């Protein structure tokens, strides 16, 4: 069984640029959620994808967008980067979205630094 993987591990961008982060879900999982974790804080929910459709969104602006592919892998895109976007971006996969036994399994994260 393959765990959740993310790429790249580290990324440095400048203000105004665009970035794409990638996530491969755990084998058999069809739901992917993305979180942003600023230094010293708990992760904040960005959005979730289930069967290639967005299935819930946190309090993040539209310049944060995503995709899910037929193999359930996912991308997080951030446009017009701001300094405050510097954070660890975590991807989590689960067997089903939402209710009940939605235990989530996290990847190692992508550390984004915006200069």
Partner 1 sequence: KQEVTQIPAALSVPEGENLVLNCSFTDSAIYNLQWFRQDPGKGLTSLLLIQSSQREQTSGRLNASLDKSSGRSTLYIAASQPGDSATYLCAVPPGGQNFVFGPGTRLSVLP
Contact residues for partner 1, defined by CB under 8 A: 4, 6, 33, 35, 40-45, 48, 56, 58, 88, 90, 92, 98-109, 111
Select 43 or 66, whichever has its Cβ closest to partner 1: 43
Q: Are strands 64-68 and 53-57 parallel, antiparallel or unpaired?
A: unpaired
> What is the three-class DSSP state of 85?
helix
CA distance linking residue 67 with residue 56, whole number of Å = 13
Distance in Å, CB of 21 to partner 1, minimum: 13
Distance in Å, CB of 40 to partner 1, minimum: 8
Distance in Å, CB of 88 to partner 1, minimum: 7
| Sole residue written with tokens 């393959």 | 2
Six-digit token pair at 112?
């984004």
Q: How many other C-beta atoms lie within 10 A of the C-beta of residue 52?
A: 13
Select 40 or 62, whichever has its Cβ closest to partner 1: 40
Select 56 or 61, whichever has its Cβ closest to partner 1: 56
């Amino acid at each position: 069984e393959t765990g959740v993987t993310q790429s790249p591990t580290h990324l440095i961008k400048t203000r105004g640029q665009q970035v794409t982060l990638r996530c491969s879900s755990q084998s058999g999982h069809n739901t992917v959620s993305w979180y942003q974790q600023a230094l010293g804080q708990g992760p904040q929910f960005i959005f979730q994808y289930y069967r290639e459709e967005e299935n819930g969104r946190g309090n993040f602006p539209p310049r944060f967008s995503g995709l899910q592919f037929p193999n359930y892998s996912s991308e997080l895109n951030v446009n017009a980067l701001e300094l405050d976007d510097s954070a660890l971006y975590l991807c989590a996969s689960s067997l089903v979205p939402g209710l009940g036994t939605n235990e989530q399994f996290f990847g190692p994260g992508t550390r984004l630094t915006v200069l």
